[in-house]
Structure 1
Amino acid sequence: MKNLWEVLARQRDYRLVLSAGLISLTGDWILRIGLAYHVYALTGSTLASGGLLLASFLPLVVLGSLAGVFVDRWDRRRTMIFTNLAHAFVLLPLLVVRDDSTIWVIYLVVLAQSCLQQFFRPAEQSLVPLLVEPRQLVTANALNSQTSDVARLVGAALGGVLAAIGGLPLLALVDAATYLIAMALLIGVRHRPEPLQLERAGGLRPAVLKVKAEWIEGLRICVGGPAMRLVFVFGLVTGVGEGAMSTLFAPFVSAELGGDGTAYGLITSSQAIGGIVGGLVAAAVGSRFSAAKMWGYGAVVFGLIDLAMFCYPLFWNSLAPAFVCMVLVGLPGAFLIAGSMTVIQRLTDDASRGRVFGALFAAEGVALLVGIAVAGVLGDVVGIIPVLVVQGLGFVAGGIVVLGRLRILEPAPVEALTP
């Protein structure tokens, strides 16, 4: 708890970044839930609703890796300020949406927001290590992961209410306001990086070639050593599993547990509650443990709890264990995220961190889409439970591999190398 208090009370810049992220993420969830409701209300089409998912994922796959090049070239704080301001402006076209004839405006807005997010996320993950002490990094990453669960819980609840009260215009204005508040908080961050000396390219073609060279260099960094290769393989394997989970969890609740829409919503929300508690625990005690061990053990326990949840309907017809499992999985999930993010940040230097995170997010996006597609086919062919079991096994196997490669994931301290 002492380390948690030190990070929140003494690291002013980190506190501002954390608060900005929480506020803007809450706005994102408000809009996301409201948009899903509004699009279906306008069109009555599940295909139209699925278009929102495509519009949000496409930039992650296409732009994510390249965006990291610019994140490494630009001031991360200014990048985050600009993207928040741009987010607020691109929401304004939603004010003109009245019926299904203007549904294309919603897709364009979601597409534009996702493009901006590809610059914001790597910038945020690259900035965090510069705002806290090295020993506080695990705690900071645990708190970061917790904000998404808090935002999800609050924003999802508000999104449906605001959609019913004021429709799409109110959703757009509220989300825009959260971005402007987040931007104001980021302006207050005092950290200033050393000026980056970039070689002048001398024209458009040389500039493009320079960006291409930096992009290729970033990809080489991502696969240039066994530690980073392990990071990416873990992300690909678990990303496919998460795609399968997102596709098949609603059918799992309905067909295997006998639950209705309300049960599905409550079970899904309970994961956010577990994530909040788990994030607090990880933030409070995480600094006492090896980041790689947190990642490995977190993944193994996360996978085992998922396996228990997916398999118990074979022997027991009840919804209660699903609620318990979704709450319990929050603790190892928080350890997994905090540990893996800390390992990645320590394996990379500030000059390349944006490219690494951009490439990692893009790779996970591709894996997620593969998982969605494969689960949609195999769910009908081999059944829902067998596919979901593979998801749990992926985390268990990935965690075991991480624990077996601790030496490459956590290089020995400098003191240990001196005679």
Structure 2
Amino acid sequence: MDSAKTVKAVKAVGGITAVWQVLGARRDLRLVLLAGVVSVTGDWVLLTGLAYCVYVLTGSTVASALTATAGLLPQVFLGPVAGVFADRWDRKRTMIGADLLLAAGLLPLLAVGGRGQVWIVVGVLLWQGAVVQFFAPAEQAMVPRLVDGAELATANALVVQSRDVARLCGAAAGGVLAAAGGVPALAVADAASFLLAAVLLRCVRTSGEVERRSRQSGRVVEVFGELGAGLRLVAGVRVLRTLMLFVVLAGTGEGVMGTLFAPFVRDVLHGGGRTYGLISAVQAVGGIVGGLAVAVFGRHIPAPRLLGVGAVLFGAVDLVIFLYPLGYLATWPAVVGMVVVGVPGALVMTGLFTLMQQYTVDEFRGRAFGALTGLFGACQLIATLSAGFLARVFGIIPVLMFQGLCYVAAGFMVLLMLRGAKVGTEINAGAGAGTNVGVAGAPIM
């Protein structure tokens, strides 16, 4: 027993050392992580505060659903196409330009002061959702350039952990700012975060130019042909097909959660803005712990196992959070539950990002991510629209339970469908109708 503990301790120390080596040696990774912390903190300030403000102004779960829908529509219709442009444009410049456009797009929120201006919130969320579709695939395609292949899982775990740090700060601040300064205060905080993030990204030295295996004319008319090549890539690799099924279930669950969690806190737990901000934020505490654990030990755990086990645990803990108020009405169990659920949440995100990056080449990475994003958004949109109406018929708790069940089902699906698949970072893909996809490597489970 003592020798086993010693081996575990040595592995832990070695893992921590490896994490610090990655951070110490990768200046550009540090800058991208810091930029992510800053901008995502602002996002959580805005989104957490807006979710609460809109529900307070309108008192309607349907209004909450329609507001959330505004941010999802661009993801559905622009996500796949934006991924094509992420494979055409310099990724670093795309990220910087998107941050500047996101900051400018928040200015109309300064005019929101009552129920009659909720339409402005919808317009701003449409703009933000559209611009983010160009930022996200560029960022995902950029990460593998910042590290060696063996460091990819560690880098993704650090990205996830940085997002959880941002959530911890931003979600709590969002609830406070929403109560103290309303929507204008939220807009100012988020705009400042985007501007600072753009400055940090400007300091990144790694090239954002796309590595191409095939010639492209750059004409816009070819966008749909390039999109088709990306979709064929996704359809041709079993792991990527499995990820598509996963995001169908996860997107459905997240649509329900995004619509009904604020009403759950306000009407079921009888909490106010600060309570909502606290409960939303503390999931990041578990996420930070989970992200650190994955960063330390992730290189020894297959990415499919991270994704599958993480999803099952995530859904199970969510079910406990949604069901306990039926027998005991208090807010502290929700706070504890949200801390706990952050740990498997970190496993899910790290596994998902790593699998997607491992099974795509640089030239197709933006399109593959865009396809998954668009599918996720479509399922989230349908669930968002449905959740607000279903909650009025069946109640908030019964509909929220569906979110947890979706994640449990998605996790078991990944564990079953990817058993015996092979890891490989070598994908042979060509543009056009004759795209061929091949994967080679060792068993992943």
TM-score when normalising by structure 1: 0.86
Counterpart pick for 2:294 among 267, 274, 282: 282
Paired amino acid for 2:156: N
Contact 2:235–2:241 (CA under 8 A) maintained in structure 1: yes
Counterpart pick for 1:370 among 337, 357, 382: 382
Q: Per-residue displacement from partner, 1:236-293 (whole Å, max 9, x unpaired)? A: 01211222233344555567x6543365544333322222222222222212211111
CA shift in 2, pair 1:32/1:407, >3 Å? same
Counterpart pick for 2:202 among 187, 195, 202: 187
CA shift in 2, pair 1:81/1:148, >3 Å? same
- Alpha-carbon offset, residue 115 of structure 1: 1.0
Q: Give SS of 2:421's match.
A: helix
Counterpart pick for 2:139 among 124, 127, 147: 124
CA shift in 2, pair 1:412/1:195, >3 Å? closer
Q: Give SS of 1:352's match.
A: helix
- Aligned equivalents of 1:275 and 1:77: distance in 2? 27
Does the alignment pair 1:407 with 2:423? no
Q: Give SS of 1:406's match.
A: coil
- Aligned equivalents of 1:313 and 1:105: distance in 2? 35
Identify which range, 212-221 or 160-169, moves more after superposition: 160-169
% identical aligned pairs: 48
Q: Which residue of 2 aligns with 1:204?
A: none
Q: Which residue of 2 aligns with 1:148?
A: 163
CA shift in 2, pair 1:412/1:177, >3 Å? closer
- Alpha-carbon offset, residue 398 of structure 1: 2.1
* Aligned residue runs from structure 1 range 283-298, under 5 A: 283-298=295-310
Q: Which residue of 2 aligns with 1:260?
A: 271
Q: Which residue of 1 aligns with 2:216?
A: 199
- Aligned equivalents of 1:127 and 1:259: distance in 2? 43
Contact 1:76–1:123 (CA under 8 A) maintained in structure 2: yes
Counterpart pick for 1:16 among 11, 26, 31: 31
Q: Give SS of 2:320's match.
A: helix
CA shift in 2, pair 1:44/1:86, >3 Å? same
Paired amino acid for 1:133: D
- Aligned equivalents of 2:178 and 2:388: distance in 1? 30
Task: Give the superposed CA RMSD.
Answer: 3.1
- Alpha-carbon offset, residue 101 of structure 1: 6.7
Q: Which residue of 2 aligns with 1:343?
A: 355
Counterpart pick for 1:86 among 101, 114, 127: 101
Contact 2:248–2:375 (CA under 8 A) maintained in structure 1: yes
Contact 1:30–1:155 (CA under 8 A) maintained in structure 2: yes
Contact 1:71–1:123 (CA under 8 A) maintained in structure 2: yes
Q: Which residue of 1 aligns with 2:128?
A: 113
- Structure 2, unmatched stretches of 5+, are 1-15, 427-439
Counterpart pick for 2:191 among 176, 180, 200: 176
Q: Which residue of 1 aligns with 2:80?
A: 65
Contact 2:279–2:338 (CA under 8 A) maintained in structure 1: yes
Counterpart pick for 1:26 among 38, 41, 51: 41
Contact 1:282–1:331 (CA under 8 A) maintained in structure 2: no
Contact 1:307–1:393 (CA under 8 A) maintained in structure 2: yes
Paired amino acid for 1:367: C
- Alpha-carbon offset, residue 151 of structure 1: 1.9
Counterpart pick for 1:352 among 358, 364, 367: 364
- Aligned equivalents of 2:333 and 2:66: distance in 1? 33
CA shift in 2, pair 1:97/1:221, >3 Å? same
Contact 1:3–1:287 (CA under 8 A) maintained in structure 2: no
Q: Which residue of 1 aligns with 2:9?
A: none
Contact 1:64–1:362 (CA under 8 A) maintained in structure 2: yes
Q: Which residue of 1 aligns with 2:409?
A: 397
CA shift in 2, pair 1:16/1:371, >3 Å? same
Identify which range, 50-59 or 337-346, moves more after superposition: 50-59
- Alpha-carbon offset, residue 338 of structure 1: 0.4
Q: Which residue of 2 aligns with 1:52?
A: 67
Q: Give SS of 1:351's match.
A: helix
- Aligned equivalents of 1:393 and 1:116: distance in 2? 32
- Structure 1, unmatched stretches of 5+, are 202-206
CA shift in 2, pair 1:318/1:23, >3 Å? closer
Contact 1:77–1:123 (CA under 8 A) maintained in structure 2: yes
- Aligned equivalents of 2:389 and 2:188: distance in 1? 39
Paired amino acid for 1:149: D
Q: Give SS of 2:420's match.
A: helix
- Alpha-carbon offset, residue 56 of structure 1: 1.4
Contact 1:292–1:410 (CA under 8 A) maintained in structure 2: no
CA shift in 2, pair 1:227/1:266, >3 Å? same
Counterpart pick for 2:239 among 224, 227, 248: 227
TM-score when normalising by structure 2: 0.81
* Total equivalences in the alignment: 410
Paired amino acid for 2:352: S
Q: Which residue of 1 aligns with 2:435?
A: none
Q: Which residue of 2 aligns with 1:326?
A: 338
Q: Give SS of 1:74's match.
A: coil
Counterpart pick for 2:311 among 289, 292, 299: 299
- Alpha-carbon offset, residue 91 of structure 1: 2.9
- Alpha-carbon offset, residue 53 of structure 1: 1.9
Paired amino acid for 2:216: E
Paired amino acid for 2:319: L
Q: Give SS of 1:276's match.
A: helix
Contact 1:59–1:114 (CA under 8 A) maintained in structure 2: yes
Q: Give SS of 2:379's match.
A: helix
Contact 1:33–1:159 (CA under 8 A) maintained in structure 2: yes
- Alpha-carbon offset, residue 412 of structure 1: 9.8
